[in-house]
Structure 1
Amino acid sequence: MRVSIVLVSPARPENVGAAARAMKTMGFSDLRIVDSEAHRQESARWVAHGSGDIIDNAAVYPTLAAALADVDFTIATTARSRAKFHYYATPAELVPLLEEKSQWMSHAALVFGREDSGLTNDELALADILTGVPMVADYPSLNLGQAVMVYCYQLASLMQQRHEPAVAHGEAQLKALRLRARSLLDKLEVADDVKLADWLDQRLGLFEQRDTAMLHRLLHDIEKNSQNKTLP
């Protein structure tokens, strides 16, 4: 599975250099940067120390949505209070999750937020699943470069694996399911039930391919039955 590392509005070029160095050390190469030119500063290359090719080849996007346009599965990192987003995986738990996803998807992205404020709620909503690093300290102390290294180290084994997608166009199933579920909530006039909508939206990223296919089938039957009941 191809895994892109996405940095959203990094402010310090040294952090971008450290992230590039961590990526190359662990076998990652696709760096994407959102709304920042920090990687173009000389201090970024100095800290990268031999990973200048990662910085040179970094793609820059105006928004996170644009950076994720070709991505099948998005993981967003967060260290903030998870009052709203209850379901998230540790770095270790991402490994079996992505191993399963690699059987029917080809491209994942791991998103890191701003050094001072992380990702906004709208940006977190673009993710299929959230992840956080469990820490003993009450105050999070990982900087951006360290966080990228933790995840790249944990996920390095995935870069050595080669999988053929088990289902043709399987990578579109999860996105289609998410849109279908939201549409059904609207039709049933329960979309305003925030807890229900959030729960469903966040749990879908944990589904395996068979679960996703079965839920598509269930939603299809619900849609078909509801249409038949509205006919005169």
Structure 2
Amino acid sequence: MQLYIVLVAPTRPENIGAAARAMKTMGFTALRIVASEAHLQPSARWVAHGAGEILDGVQTFATLEQALADVDFTVATTARSRARFHYYCTPPQLLKQLTERQQWARQAALVFGREDCGLTNEELALADLLTGVPMQADYPSLNLGQAVMVYCYQLAALMNVSVAQQPPANTGQLNALRQRAEGLLSVLGVSGDQKLCDWVHQRLGALQQRDTAMLHRLLHDIEKKLAKCLSLFSGNDSV
């Protein structure tokens, strides 16, 4: 699995340098930056201290959506107090999630938000799974460089995990499942319940591959049953 570290609109070049240094220390090499050129400033390279090749290889994008266009599975970092999404995994749980997905997600991304305000709700909605670092303090105090270090340290095992060869799964299966679930919510008349829809979106991203396949089968059976009930109901109306 290729894991991209994605920084959205970072403003302090020192933070980018610290992120690059953390990445190299833990074996990660692919850095993407959205809506910023702060990595080009000399102070970024000073702080990177030996990780200059990561800064040299930075890929830049105008929007997060563009940065994720070729990614199979996206994880976004968030603080509980700042987002409407309240369901996320911790860094140790994230390692398990990504390890399970190594057999089908060839390219994954771990997204970090702005230093002052994190990711917007619209950007968080692009993620398949959310993650956060539990902290004792009432106000989150990790800066960008520290946050990248925490995750790179926790996920370093990914660089050495060997996965048994299995038939590749359909990388579009998760999106298809989401569309199916959204269709069912619409039929049930609850698609306007934003809290419920957000919950479904995030919990589906946390499912393992075998659970995703089983849920597809279950939703298929529910759809058939609903279609039959609707057909009978329509027939009764016409009598």
The alignment's TM-score, normalised by the length of structure 2, stands at 0.90
- State the match for 1:113 in structure 2: 113
1:228 Cα deviation after fit: 4.3
Residues 82 and 89 of structure 1, relative CA distance in 2, 3 Å threshold: farther
Please report how far the alpha carbon of residue 230 of structure 1 lies from its aligned counterpart in structure 2 after TM superposition.
4.7
How far did 1:215 drift? 0.9
- CA separation in 1, counterparts of 2:166 and 2:174? 14
Q: Which runs of 5+ in 2 are unaligned?
A: none
The 10-residue stretch of structure 1 (175-184 or 48-57) with the greater mean CA deviation from structure 2: 175-184
Query: Higher mean Cα deviation, 27-36 or 82-91?
Result: 82-91
Two-structure CA RMSD over aligned residues (Å): 1.8
Asked if 2 retains the 8 angstrom alpha-carbon contact of 1:75 and 1:128, the reply is: yes
Greater CA radius of gyration, 1 or 2? 2
Q: Tell me how far 1:80 sits from its aligned partner.
A: 4.3
Deviation at 1:163, TM superposition (A): 2.9
- Equivalent in the alignment of 2:175: 175
The reply to whether residue 145 of structure 1 matches residue 133 of structure 2 is no
CA contact (8 A) 1:2 1:159 kept: no
Given residue 68 of structure 1, which amino acid in structure 2 is its aligned partner?
A: L
Q: State yes or no: 1:89 paired with 2:89.
A: yes
CA distance in 1, matches of 2:194, 2:109: 26
Give the structure 2 partner of residue 156 of structure 1. 156
The 1:176/1:53 distance shift into structure 2, 3 A limit, reads: same
Answer with 144-153 or 173-182: which moved more.
173-182
Counterparts of 2:203 and 2:82, CA distance in 1 = 14
State the alpha-carbon separation in 2 of the partners of residues 97 and 41 from structure 1: 35
Aligned-residue identity in percent = 66
Counterpart Cα distance in 2 of 1:166 and 1:225: 33
**In structure 2, C-alpha distance between the alignment counterparts of 1:131 and 1:165, rounded to whole Å:** 28
Partner of 1:197: 197
Aligned equivalent of 2:61: 61
- Structure 1 match to 2:77: 77
TM-score by length of 1: 0.92
Counterpart in the other structure of 1:184: 184
Conserved? CA contact 1:105–1:170, under 8 Å: no
Determine the C-alpha separation between the residues in 2 that align with 1:115 and 1:83.
15
Which residues of structure 1 form unaligned runs of 5+? none
Residue 184 of structure 1: CA displacement? 2.6
* Deviations 1:153-202, CA, capped at 9 Å, x for gaps: 00000111233663434322112211221233223332012232122111
Secondary structure at the aligned position of 1:81 is classed as helix
Deviations 1:34-59 (A, max 9, x none): 11111111111111111111111111
Question: Quick one: distance in 2 between partners of 1:224 and 1:167?
Answer: 29
> 2:101–2:209: 8 Å Cα contact kept in structure 1?
yes
Which digits, 9 at most, give the CA deviation of each residue in 1:109-144, with x for residues without a partner?
A: 111000000000111111122111122222222110
Give the alignment of 1:188-227 within 5 angstroms.
188-227=188-227
Supply the distance in 1 between the matched residues of 2:77 and 2:83 (Cα, whole angstroms): 15
Deviates more, 1:109-118 or 1:213-222: 213-222
Cα distance in 2 for residues equivalent to 1:139 and 1:198:
24
Q: Secondary structure at the match of 1:54?
A: helix
Amino acid at match of 2:29: S
How many residue pairs end up in the alignment?
A: 232
Q: 1:83 to 1:55 in 2, by over 3 A?
A: closer
One-letter identity of the residue aligned with 1:149:
M
Are the structure 2 counterparts of residues 224 and 164 from structure 1 closer, same or farther at C-alpha, using a change threshold of 3 Å? same
Query: SS of 2:53's equivalent?
Result: helix
